[in-house]
Amino acid sequence: MEILAYGVASYERPLLAKAFDGRHDLRCLDVDLDADTAVLADGYEIVSTNVNSRVDADVLRRIADGGTKLVTQRSTGFNNIDLDAAARRGITVMRVARYSPHSVAEFAWALAQAVNRRIPRAVIRTRDFDFRLDGLLGRDMHGKTVGVVGTGKIGEVFTRIAHGHGCRLVGWDIAENPACRALGMEYVDLPDLLAQSDVVSLHVPLTPDTHHLVDGAALDLMREEALLVNTSRGGLIDSFALVAALRRGLLGGVALDVYEEEEHFFYRDLSDRVVTDDVLARLMTYPNVLVTSHQAFFTREAVDQILGTTVRNVDDYLAGKTTENTLTEPR
């Protein structure tokens, strides 16, 4: 079977080839799947995508007409895929339902500490041999209240990390996690969580119900020195409202590994270009804001699991199996 993989980064190419181990012919493209590149999938029954691909109804129509029967996404998130349109077009969609939750949770805590202790600013200074401490004052995490928005697998690991640092734990989710309860977590309404927490970390998927979960009204509820961390999906935060809050001096720090419009920027070298996204550019100007390029998942263990699951998805599809990774089947 010949497989077309979209949006394959340079680091990913040899790892993906190793994962498939010659069992299938693999063609890797560095461009994402969208309306302009859909034509490249003609003749490929199986295509693999990443989170920056835009797999909407029009793209699905085009690749279905070209013979595609399976879209297997190399990520857990799938909000970029129109699942109803895929089912109507007779396309099976699969994803990576789970990989190391430690990769994202550990990175989220690292971001919180980096912003809290002003580490990026300190590194920039010391590289210029400026060893002053002005503006670098942080706070002990011990004894602070940490709010975990979403207490699934990743949220649970993040909770364990915060518990290990002696933090008070509050959580919000549609269903309580007994493991988090056992660590002393108190479940509260989201407004209460935002008002109580010194650190708020987001670990929920992006759905119509969670889009702009943290909007202007939510930001107004947060403590003036609170830290906001997002390693989940950019659309959870209203970016315009966030900039407005920062302009007013709200929040002690913000750490973003994701951004609403990241598909236009992340995983690309734009260092020699003018970035036209005014919101992203403004966020970069604040000394208490840290932005990374959707890399929380990026550990050897997690990448191995993601690519290994992608290979199994292909094998399961060819064997006619439905698994926890199957999002849609042809109607």
pLDDT band at 176 (very low <50, low <70, confident <90, very high): very high
pLDDT band at 329 (very low <50, low <70, confident <90, very high): confident
Q: What is the pLDDT of residues 57-114, one digit of tens each?
A: 999 999 999 999 999 999 988 989 999 999 999 999 999 999 999 999 999 999 999 9
Q: What is the pLDDT of residues 115-170, one digit of tens each?
A: 999 999 999 999 999 999 999 999 999 999 999 999 999 999 999 999 999 999 99
pLDDT band at 265 (very low <50, low <70, confident <90, very high): confident
- pLDDT score at 214: 98
Q: Which residues are catalytic?
A: 233, 262, 294
0.85 surpassed by pTM: yes
- Architecture category of domain 2-99+300-328 in CATH: 3-Layer(aba) Sandwich (3.40)
* Structure tokens that stand for 148 in this block: 């975990």
**205, 232 Cβ separation under 8 angstroms:** yes
- pLDDT score at 331: 63
Q: What is the pLDDT of residues 283-298, one digit of tens each?
A: 999 999 999 999 999 9
Span 208-218, mean pLDDT?
Answer: 97
Q: Provide the mean pLDDT of the chain.
A: 95
Q: Which CATH class is domain 101-291?
A: alpha beta
- pLDDT score at 195: 98
Looking at the chain, list the stretches that DSSP marks H as alpha helix, in order from N- to C-terminal side. Answer: 12-20, 57-65, 83-88, 101-116, 119-127, 153-164, 178-182, 190-196, 216-221, 239-247, 278-285, 300-318
Q: How far apart are CA 58 and CA 1, in angstroms?
A: 25
DSSP strand pairing (326-328 vs 92-94): antiparallel
- pLDDT score at 21: 86
Span 13-38, mean pLDDT?
Answer: 92
* Structure tokens that stand for 63 in this block: 């690749």
Indicate where the chain has its CATH 3.40.50.720 domain(s): 2-99+300-328, 101-291
